[in-house]
Amino acid sequence: MQKPPQSIDFALKETSPKIGAGAVTGDKLSSTYDLVEQMQYLYVRVVKAKDLPGKDVTGGCDPYVEVKLGNYKGVTKHFEKKNNPEWNQVFAFSKERIQASVLEVYVKDKDVVADDLIGRALFDLNEIPKRIPPDSPLAPQWYRLEDRKGDKAKGELMLAVWMGTQADEAFPEAWHSDAASVGPDAVASIRSKVYLSPKLWYVRVNVIEAQDLVPNDKSRFPEVFVKAMLGNQALRTRISQSKTINPMWNEDLMFVVAEPFEEPLVLSVEDRVGGNKDETLGKCVIPLHIVQRRLDHRPVNSRWLNLEKHVIVDGEKKEIKFASRIHLRICLEGGYHVLDESTHYSSDLRPTAKQLWRPSIGILELGILSAHGLMPMKTKDGRGTTDAYCVAKYGQKWIRTRTIVDNFMPRWNEQYTWEVFDTCTVITVGVFDNGHVHGGAGGARDARIGKVRIRLSTLEADRVYTHLYPLLVLHPSGVKKTGEIQLALRFTCSSLINMLHMYSHPLLPKMHYIHPLSVIQLDVLRHQAMQIVSTRLSRAEPPLRKEVVEYMLDVDSHMWSMRRSKANFFRIMGVLSGLIAVGKWFDQICNWRNPLTTILIRHPPHMDTRLSHADAAHPDELDEEFDTFPTSRPSDIVRMRYDRLRSIAGRAQTVIGDLATQGERFQSLLSWRDPRATTLFVTFCLIAALVLYVTPFQVVALLAGIYVLRHPRFRHKLPSTPLNFFRRLPARSDSML
């Protein structure tokens, strides 16, 4: 099916920014910080002062420093009654906006009525030295203060003044003249920052059995289950089939937990005594730092733990110790990768345990240059404004650029680096509007402007990609372009052999295939992992807010969407269009009266209840099936059924997307979208053609039959090399909104 061409307004645009990569220059910056345009800054580091004179009646002073360059003015914090203050603050003035020829540094005494001048130091901009990393930082010097007439005043100020670029170590923590309008309380919220996701583990609790339980009502058969709580996660086993005081379950419960372990695992054995009434028969608390860590599929040792029970006697809580015990296997699973992203565009596929990591295969460098044509995201003083910053996520490392205040064409020019362990991963770059620059209320949110995903396997090694990517956001009224972001990307391969060898490895760690988790389990665990990551990052300073993390991790990607389902359907149709044409031709030749077809149908068709799921249908599902159209049921039942339909349809949508992904992987074999994979495939085809040319067909058929029908003891639980190779091929799921 022919797809209409994408609107040129939504298309990718190639650009040629003035970056150092590929350029022959004598500037050291071009080799260390070469994916961004140089931005010149005047840096002023205010370290400390000494011997400041007293200005009030007590002989003390409340000093602060004012750094002034033309119309821009930066101010340090002030100290109460201190004659030898230390500030150690850095100010950065953009050279593009400098209109003055003299830098003025004033030391002032804060007063209620008017601040008094203690002294000043002046610097001619033409005399200021230039520094480019990796030069050592400029050593600060003492400068004698002078009064307004140029005469010597009492006191000295330690300063360092230099011209540098955004590659300077002082850049991230500096006060910027671009953000001069931002109040001191909000300065922290606009700085650039690097974050690390917490290390995530799966916790497997295998509940085996309990012994010698003591139910309160001994006249009935106990209906016992185990409830496990870890933080805000709660799971329970089924009710034991053996309705005795020694129940058995042998059931696994899986949780997600992050280091450092803050919450213990709490297990309670409960008896279902009524419709919605449960009675606790005993509890035990297990700190996670004492739990065994498992790296492979070998079983861990089981443990018997005593259950404790509290009762109220005369209004006081008393602990009863008795012989009730519970039999468990508990371990922290280090052999799995804890999924906190959608599997279609994961940025990391390594297992939790560092001992199982393979060596890195290269380096990914990202230059976040600028954005163009951003839309107004909020209103200030009666006009639209945007305070934009970028967030990039790859692996456990998140980066956040500084916020460019009140600018629809922000220029960040910040460069970041990640280690790459697998090229079949995706880096995500999002652009957001900072809602806390001007003292946003507690409920203020950082609005999403748009995001970009880039799959590393589609990048050629050592090539610099510079493109304008459209920023698209979906609204109830339709898709909307909110601007464009200019990025520079370079993937550098450190080991070609290791990188090509990766194509034969399974996409996920071995434990995912030896002891696979169910789709429902993975969905629940992924949601819990996302919640943990977003909570931890929102507690950093400045916080990476919950709404930002959830948008970057696609927290709602599993929800039902008619649009996504249609898109996935057309993806399948696009893949199958060639096969459909062949099928139509084949249908003209073959029909049901074909004798061979008749021979193959040995039994007449019949109504299959299992195939129809009629034998396991819930009464409410049958009631829904026989409901009138339009519905005659109450609104609360309709709402419940609608939510259930959304849940089921969301899974169907995922399956359709998976089918489309498999078809697109077939197409990418010869499309050179992943140049390394296509090279391997073409090389294999050439070798296979030579082998088949010199080998009789009967021998090939015999060897293939022996391999396909080999005994199970010669089979491996891990996927085969061709399947691993196929699963690593790129699909167009990265380009889906």
Q: How confident is the model at residue 44 (pLDDT cuts 50, 70, 90)?
A: very high
By percentage, how much of the chain surpasses pLDDT 90?
A: 38
User: Which residues does 237 contact at the CB level (< 8 Å), separation at least 6?
Assistant: 207, 225, 226, 249, 251, 253
Q: How much is the average pLDDT of 146-156? A: 84
Using CA atoms, how far residue 566 sits from 251, 423, 559, 657, 736, in Å, is 39, 29, 14, 10, 12
Rounded CA separation 649/647 (Å): 6
The yes-or-no verdict on residue 168 having pLDDT over 80 is: yes
Domains of the chain: 40-180 (2.60.40.150), 199-333 (2.60.40.150), 354-553 (2.60.40.150), 562-572+617-735 (no CATH)
Q: How confident is the model at residue 57 (pLDDT cuts 50, 70, 90)?
A: low
Which pLDDT value is given to residue 610?
A: 42
Q: How confident is the model at residue 490 (pLDDT cuts 50, 70, 90)?
A: very high
Sign of CA dihedral 648, 653, 658, 659: positive
Sign of CA dihedral 597, 600, 605, 611: negative
Q: How confident is the model at residue 611 (pLDDT cuts 50, 70, 90)?
A: very low
| C-beta separation of 271 from 243 below 8 A | no
Which pLDDT value is given to residue 26?
A: 41
Using CA atoms, how far residue 224 sits from 118, 255, 273, in Å, is 78, 21, 9
The yes-or-no verdict on residue 181 having pLDDT over 80 is: no
| pLDDT tens column, 185-204 | 677 788 889 999 999 999 99
Which pLDDT value is given to residue 641?
A: 79
The yes-or-no verdict on residue 29 having pLDDT over 70 is: no
| C-beta separation of 67 from 153 below 8 A | no
| C-beta separation of 665 from 722 below 8 A | no
| pLDDT tens column, 367-388 | 999 999 999 988 888 888 999 9
| pLDDT tens column, 203-232 | 999 999 999 888 888 778 888 999 999 989
Q: How much is the average pLDDT of 165-177? A: 85
Which pLDDT value is given to residue 607?
A: 36
Peptide bond into 630 cis (omega under 30): yes
Region for residue 315 given its phi and psi (left: phi exceeds 0; alpha: psi -120 to 50; beta: otherwise)? left
Rounded CA separation 507/345 (Å): 12
Pick the closest to residue 432 from 530, 537, 550 (CA basis). Answer: 550
Q: How confident is the model at residue 30 (pLDDT cuts 50, 70, 90)?
A: very low
Q: What is the pTM of this model?
A: 0.79
Looking at residue 626, what DSSP letter applies? T
492: exposed, middle or buried (C-beta count within 10 Å: 0-12, 13-18, 19+)? middle
Inter-axis angle of helices 635-668 and 562-589, to 10 degrees?
60
Question: Hunting for tokens 């040629």 — which residue is that?
Answer: 16
Pairing, β 86-94 against β 175-176: parallel
Q: How confident is the model at residue 600 (pLDDT cuts 50, 70, 90)?
A: very low
How high does pLDDT run on average in the chain?
83
Q: How confident is the model at residue 2 (pLDDT cuts 50, 70, 90)?
A: very low
The yes-or-no verdict on residue 596 having pLDDT over 50 is: no
Highest mean pLDDT among 45-54, 182-191, 327-336, 466-475: 327-336
Q: How confident is the model at residue 441 (pLDDT cuts 50, 70, 90)?
A: low
SS (H, E, C) 287-308: CHHHCEEECCCCCCCCEEEEEE
By percentage, how much of the chain surpasses pLDDT 70?
A: 87
Which pLDDT value is given to residue 587?
A: 58
Rounded CA separation 609/621 (Å): 15
Q: How confident is the model at residue 315 (pLDDT cuts 50, 70, 90)?
A: low
Q: How confident is the model at residue 525 (pLDDT cuts 50, 70, 90)?
A: very high
Q: What values do phi and psi take at 674, rounded to 5?
A: -110, 95
Which pLDDT value is given to residue 491?
A: 94
| pLDDT tens column, 238-292 | 998 888 889 999 999 999 999 999 899 999 999 888 777 888 888 999 999 999 9
What are 8's two structure tokens? 């040129």
DSSP secondary structure letters along 660-725: HHHHHHHHHTTT-SSHHHHHHHHHHHHHHHHHHHHS-HHHHHHHHHHHHT--GGG--SSPPHHHHH
Q: What values do phi and psi take at 19, rounded to 5?
A: -110, 165
User: Which residues does 588 contact at the CB level (< 8 Å), separation at least 6?
Assistant: none
Q: How confident is the model at residue 465 (pLDDT cuts 50, 70, 90)?
A: very high
| pLDDT tens column, 395-415 | 999 999 999 988 999 999 999
